[in-house]
Every structure is written in structure tokens, then in C-alpha cells.
Structure 1
Amino acid sequence: MPISPNQGSTGGGTAVTITGTQLSGTTAVRFGNKLATGVTNVSPTEVTAVSPSGSGSVGVTVTTPGGTSNPVPFYYVGAPFKQTISPTGGSTAGGDTVTINGTGLSSATNVAFGANNAAPTVVSDSQLTVVAPAGAAGPVGVTVTTAGGVNNGLSYTYVADPTVTTLTPASGPTSGGTAVTIAGTSLTTTDSVTFGGTPAPFTVLSDTSVSAVTPPGAAGAVDVVVTNDAGSDTATGAFTYIAGPGI
């Protein structure tokens, strides 16, 4: 007499389907010594019911006018508990692999990033990984669904790829040291600015502005690359190094 699913929340409320023979006229379904609710005799070979609250492993029995069946096991699972999520943000395009650590994760079936769902890969009862779906820029709640229920409380922030529109000034000496204001979009999480491939010290002023100090460089135009949590943008030949006079 199989039961599906064979596990559910300790709080009860799991809809189960029991299949077997001679199930007509079912009068009761018990999980251990507790009566199930919502018992429906679908056919002589199928009964549905809603599990009561419980814990551990219990035997499920069906009672008909002909007697009580042999028990089949049902396992109560506690609600998941999430402790950490890494990384805590990524591209609005999705595709980043996210690791969630906690407890009670072995039966995870879904991870929701806001309104968008993704199928997890269970590593162990204390860890799962999931590929973040696409989402709109900004923070969203992360919800894990398991046989034991759902748990939320973690946050994931979607970040749009940065864009670079203008540099002011757009030129400076090869010795470096020029304070440059970079204008663009999605610059809040900027974690790198390079001039011709050389990292530059920078300060985020706003989501549309970053201040950087040019490193030394060879004379000529160089690419300026701004990178954030989602990706990078290259302003081709956007800054020109000017050699000093020689006598």
C-alpha cells in the first residue's frame, strides 16, 4: 500500500495519496494514532487524506468495514532553517550559482527569488546550490521549500551590469594622479576600475558616479573598464595619457 508523498511537515497539512486494494468504504486514515482529515475515497484502489501534525516516522493505516490495513511509513520533516547565502547578489540576467547553508534542506524542491522559482541541487541536509533566475534590479527575499515547509528571511540583490557614459576629464599626464569622474549607471556595487588594464583607486559617489585616480600609463588612448557584482563595461579609448614635454 504505497503512500505519496511519504514525507511532510511536522505541522501537518500534507495532502497524501494512498493506493492499494479493497479501499472502498474507507472510514478512517491514521498517521500513527492520529486521525487524518480530508479523507476522500477516490476509488476502490485510491484514498486521499491530509496528514495531522506529528514527528519522526509513523505508520499510516486505512480502516474500512473489512478491517484495518497494514501500516506504511510516513516521515515527518521539520521546516528548513537557512543560515547563510553566498553570494548575496548577482546579475539581473541570472545564471549565478548560489549556495545556501542551513538545516533541514535535504528535501528541498524549490527556491524562490522573489516571484521567480528555481530548482535546487541538494548537496546535503545542511547545504544546497541553486542557479539564480533572472530578476529585476534590487533586493528580493529568498524562500526555500522542503517537505517540511517553507522558510524565508534571506535576501538576494539583483544588480544590473554597469554602463560608462562619460569621463571628466578625459585626459591627463602619463605620470598618473588625475582625479577622474566616471558617469554611468549601476555603479553602486563597483568593485574595480582599470585604466589600460591597470587598477585604479576609486570611490563610489552614487549609482551614477564614481571618482577614480589614474595610475601611471603610456602615452595614448586606453580603455577604461568598470566592474560591479553583475559584470563589466568597457569604455574603449575613453582616457588619453599625455606625455610631458622634454627638453
Structure 2
Amino acid sequence: MPISPNQGSTGGGTLVTITGTNLANTSAVTFGNKPATNITQVSPTEVTAVSPSGTGSVGVTVTTPGGTSNPVPFFYVGAPFKSSLGTTSGPLAGGNTITVNGTGLSTATSVSFGGVTATPTVNSDSSVSVVVPAGAAAGPVPVSVTTAGGTNNGLSYTYVEAPTVTALSPTSGPASGGTAVTVTGTNLDTTDSVTFGGTPAPFAVINASTLSAVTPPGTAGAVDVVVTNPAGSDTVTAGYTYVAGPGI
């Protein structure tokens, strides 16, 4: 007498299908010593029922006018607990793979990002990997994980759009570096790096359209300026010119 699924939440509420023989006129289904609810006679070989709350492994039995069946094991699974996301932000288009860390994740069947679900790959009871679906708009969305034990919420993932740079001011300075450069554009509030000629520069985000960077030392000549965030990067080709100091 197989049952499907053979595991469910400790809080109960799992719809279980029981198949076998001589199941007509089923009067009771029990999980351990607890009666199931919403028993439905589908056919003489199939019955459905909703599991009560419980813990561990219990035997499921069906009672008909002919007697009570042999028990078939059903396993109660605790609700998942999520502790962190391996990556907390990414492109609005999705497509990047992130990890969800926690406990009770071995039976994970879906991960929801703001209501859009994706099917995860289970790495272990403490980790799943999932390809992030596309978002509807830039900004944070709640993340939930559903397992045989239930659904757990509480984490947040932020969709971001790639930056664009429209202007630099000033556009030149000494090769010794140390020049404060104002960068204007869009989607700059999620910037995680600014480089001048491939060399990282210290920076401070002012708002979504403005940031300030301090040029690192460089070699005389024009260099590319690249602004990067989790969704991508924008390059201003030969956007800044290092000027050699005077010599006597």
C-alpha cells in the first residue's frame, strides 16, 4: 500500500494519496495514533487524506469494513530555517545562481523571489542552489523556501540594474592621483567598484545618480573609467586623462 508523498510538515496539512486494494468504504485513516482529516474515497484502490500534526516516523493505516491495513511509514519533516543568502543582490534580468543556506533544506522544492518561483538544486540539508528568475522591477523582494516541512520566509534579495555613466568632472588631473572626481549617471547607488585604468579607486556613493571617487596614481595619458555593480558595468573609454607633473 504505497502513499504519496511519504513525508510532510510536522504541523500537518499534507494531502496524501494512498493506493492499494480493497479500499472501498474507507472509514478511517490514521497517522500513528492520530486520525487524518478530509478523507476522500477516490476509487476502490485510492484514498486521499490530510495528515495531522506529528513528529518523526509514523505508520499510516486505512480502516474499512474488512479491517485495518498494515502500516506504511510516513516521515514528518520540520519547517526549513534560512540563515543567509550567498549573494543578496543581482541583475534585474536574473539568470545568476545563488545559494540559500540554513537547515532542513534537503526536501526543498521551490524558492520564491517576490512571488516568482524557481526550482532549486539541493546541495545538502544546509544548502541549496537556485537560478534567480527575472524580476519585475529594481528593488528588494522577499525570499521564501518551500520544503516538505513547510515554507520559511524572512530573507531579502535586491534586484539591481546596470550602471550608466553620463559625465565625469573633472576629466583630468595629476598622475600622482588624489583628485576627487564626481561621477554622474544612473543606478550608481549599488556601485561596488570604480577603476581608473584598471586600478581600483576609493569611492563614496552620494545617491543613485552621483558618486565621488578619488583617483589612484597613474601613468600620463588617457585611461578608461569603469563603474561596476552586481548587475554589470559601464565603461567610459579614455574618460580620464592623467597629466604628468612638471620637471626641471
- TM-score relative to the length of structure 2: 0.94
Q: Following the alignment from structure 1 to structure 2, what is the Cα–Cα distance between the partners of residues 60 and 216? A: 73
Per the alignment, residue 161 of structure 2 pairs with 160
How far does residue 147 in structure 1 lie from its aligned partner after superposition? 0.5
CA RMSD after TM alignment: 1.5
Code of the residue aligned with 1:126 in structure 2: it is S
Per the alignment, residue 70 of structure 1 pairs with 70
Per the alignment, residue 219 of structure 1 pairs with 220
Per the alignment, residue 103 of structure 2 pairs with 103
Q: Following the alignment from structure 1 to structure 2, what is the Cα–Cα distance between the partners of residues 194 and 85? A: 27
Per the alignment, residue 21 of structure 1 pairs with 21
How far does residue 213 in structure 1 lie from its aligned partner after superposition? 1.7
- Give the alignment of 1:1-247 within 5 angstroms: 1-135=1-135, 136-244=137-245
Q: How many residues align?
A: 247
Q: Following the alignment from structure 1 to structure 2, what is the Cα–Cα distance between the partners of residues 95 and 118? A: 11
Q: Secondary structure at the match of 1:217?
A: coil
Q: Following the alignment from structure 2 to structure 1, what is the Cα–Cα distance between the partners of residues 214 and 2? A: 69
Gaps of 5+ in 1: none
Q: Secondary structure at the match of 1:218?
A: coil
How far does residue 168 in structure 1 lie from its aligned partner after superposition? 1.2
Q: Following the alignment from structure 2 to structure 1, what is the Cα–Cα distance between the partners of residues 203 and 132? A: 29
1:143-176 CA distances to partner (integer Å, 9 max, x unpaired)?
A: 0100010001111112211111111122223333
How far does residue 60 in structure 1 lie from its aligned partner after superposition? 0.7
1:112-166 CA distances to partner (integer Å, 9 max, x unpaired)?
A: 1111111111122122222222213111111010001000111111221111111
- TM-score relative to the length of structure 1: 0.94
Q: Following the alignment from structure 2 to structure 1, what is the Cα–Cα distance between the partners of residues 69 and 209? A: 69
How far does residue 93 in structure 1 lie from its aligned partner after superposition? 2.1
| Structure 1 consecutive aligned stretches of length 4 or more whose deviation exceeds 6 Å | none
Gaps of 5+ in 2: none
Q: Following the alignment from structure 1 to structure 2, what is the Cα–Cα distance between the partners of residues 242 and 127? A: 51
How far does residue 244 in structure 1 lie from its aligned partner after superposition? 4.5
Question: Equivalent pairs: percent with the same residue?
Answer: 75
Code of the residue aligned with 2:230 in structure 1: it is D
Q: Secondary structure at the match of 1:175?
A: coil
Q: Following the alignment from structure 2 to structure 1, what is the Cα–Cα distance between the partners of residues 55 and 246? A: 82
Q: Following the alignment from structure 2 to structure 1, what is the Cα–Cα distance between the partners of residues 140 and 22? A: 54
How far does residue 13 in structure 1 lie from its aligned partner after superposition? 0.7
Q: Following the alignment from structure 2 to structure 1, what is the Cα–Cα distance between the partners of residues 53 and 77? A: 10
Q: Secondary structure at the match of 2:22?
A: coil
